[in-house]
Amino acid sequence: PALELDGEFTPPETSHYPALPLDKLPEFLSRTDSYCGRLLTRYALKLSLLFFVRSSELRFARWSEIDWQ
């Protein structure tokens, strides 16, 4: 029965967040340093800049996955 519905529904439009322009990076780092929320959040922001990983990869990483060499 679902075959008859093919093409009847259109998927919602997706929009992605734009990349941070390089000239805004110093301000971002400054605001990150002065962030008054959880320290873990500040560390996660800085680590994501260093390692270029998706936020989910950083949040769910295991110590055994880290190569310390």
Does residue 46 fall inside a structural domain? yes
CA dist., res. 47 & res. 29, Å (int): 12
pLDDT for 66: 86
pLDDT tens readout for residues 4-61: 888 888 889 999 889 999 999 999 999 999 999 999 999 999 999 888 888 899 999 9
Q: Which of 54, 57, 61, 60 is nearest to 17 (CA)?
A: 54
Residue 68 within any structural domain of the chain: no
Helix residue ranges, H only, the chain: 25-33, 39-51, 55-59
pTM of the complete model: 0.61
Q: Taking a C-beta distance cutoff of 8 angstroms, is the pair 20, 28 a contact?
A: yes
Whether 69 is covered by a domain: the verdict is: no
Number of domains in the chain: 1
Is 8 part of any domain?
Answer: no
In a domain, 17, yes or no: no
16 within domain boundaries: no
Q: How confident is the model at residue 1 (pLDDT cuts 50, 70, 90)?
A: low
Q: Is residue 49 part of a domain?
A: yes
Range of the domain at 39: 22-59
